[in-house]
Amino acid sequence: MKGKISIVGCGGNGLLAAQVLSSMGFEQISVIDGDTISETDLERQSLYSRNDLGFYKADTCRKKIEKLNGLKNVVSYDVYLDSYNIEEILSGTDIVLDGTDSIRTRELINEYSVKTAIPWIMTASHGDMGQIKFIFPGKTSCLGCMMSGRTLIPMNCHYDSVEPYAPQGVSVLSTSMIASFLSDEQVSGDLMFIEFRKMTIERIRIDINPECSVCAGHEYTLLEDKKIKGRQIY
Ligand SMILES: [Zn+2]
């Protein structure tokens, strides 16, 4: 399939999505993560094993996928996305998948997406639940619209336990969303709230907020903040 995809965060959702997307024959899958593999990652990040402990997640992900399917369409960046490197890493991509557990990184991706009109998908897992939202500036609401004046704070698996099947489910839904978008199908900008044990998906309509500081006001606070260079931003 045609298309270049960038996956930010090579842990749960991102790792699984990279595996699935690479086997679908897309031109290029970039995986971006400055983190290394630790003991706690092994439980739900099935591509990694004990032999990989201490190695970079992105580089290991690329090597494992190449070994599994023989394809060379994965490119890895062993860095955290920041305001310095975002342009170099994400420019030319057709869609960005957020597989991070960092709200600040999501906000940075959102600002870049609004500035460059590149769509992205926010994903999150928590407990036995998942959240997915497709964001296409000018066509759907953005992360800023969703956050401003609301209590709908995206979930963050960094602070809470995650059932191993939740990231699996989220990655299946988000990769099929990418396939739909790159096949020119209509993708909804609703926030999808999934409860896996109940097997329900609730769609929450998030309207474009005419007072959103990002997509209406074009304020790019994080993109312009050069103090966050090279750090994982929370
Ligand atoms: Zn907005």
Q: What is the pLDDT of residue 182?
A: 93
Per-residue pLDDT at 41: 83
CA of 200 to the centre of ligand 1 (A): 27
Q: Report residues of the chain scoring pLDDT below 50.
A: 151, 154, 157, 159, 234
Q: How far is the CA of 209 from the centre of ligand 1 (A)?
A: 6
Cα(114) to centroid of ligand 1, in Å? 8
Query: Which residues make up the environment of ion ligand 1, defined by Cβ < 5 Å?
Result: 142, 144-145, 212, 214-215
Give the pLDDT score at 16. 86
Q: What's residue 80's pLDDT?
A: 93
Structure confidence at residue 232 (pLDDT)? 55
- What are the boundaries of each domain within the chain? 4-227
4-227 CATH fold: Rossmann fold (3.40.50)
153 CA to centre of ligand 1 in angstroms: 15
Query: Rounded to the nearest whole angstrom, what is the distance from the C-alpha of residue 11 to the centroid of ligand 1?
Result: 27
pLDDT of residue 156: 52
Give the integer Cα–Cα distance in Å for 208 and 72.
39
Cα 145 to averaged position of ligand 1 atoms, centre (Å): 4
Q: What distance in angstroms lies between residue 137's CA and the mean position of ligand 1's atoms?
A: 8
166 CA to middle of ligand 1, Å?
27
